[in-house]
Amino acid sequence: MRPFFVVLLLAALSPAAASAQSPSDAAYCQRLVELYDRYVGQPDYGTVRGTNPGGTDSQVAVTQCRQGNPAGIPVLERALQRNGVTLPSRG
C-alpha cells in the first residue's frame, strides 16, 4: 500500500518541477502580452479590437505574465492565433 502513496506523491510533485520556467520563457511571455494588448486586448474605452479575445482565462494569463509567471503562455498563444496574430520566436 505504501508504494501507491509514494507514486501519488511523486505524481503530485511532478507538475511543480515541470513548471519551472527559464528567464527566456518570462521574456517570451512578455512579448505575447505586448501582442495581445496591441491586437486582441481591450482598450480603455471598453470595446474589443480582436475578433475573438478569449475571456477571463486570457486576462488571467496576461496578469500571470505581467507578474513574471509564464504559466499563461499557452492561453495567450491560443488567443493570438485565434485572431490571426503570428507568434514571435521563442528563442
On whether residue 16 sits in a domain, the answer given is no
The domain of 76 spans 21-91
CA 56 to chain centre: 12
The answer to whether residue 7 scores a pLDDT higher than 80 is no
Cα 76 to chain centroid distance, Å, stands at 5
User: Can you give the pTM of this predicted structure?
Assistant: 0.67
Judge whether 3 lies within some domain. Answer: no
Q: How many domains in the chain?
A: 1
In a domain, 4, yes or no: no
Residue 52 lies in a domain: yes
User: CA–CA separation, 85 vs 50, rounded Å?
Assistant: 10
What does the DSSP 8-state code read for residue 67? T
List, for residues 50-62, the tens digit of each pLDDT value: 555 568 999 999 9
Task: Answer yes or no: is 5 within a domain.
Answer: no
Q: Which of 70, 53, 52 is nearest to 61 (CA)?
A: 70
Asked if the structure places residue 62 within a domain, the reply is yes
Among 30, 28, 85, 29, smallest CA distance to 52 is for 85
Asked, for residue 76, whether it belongs to a domain, the answer is yes
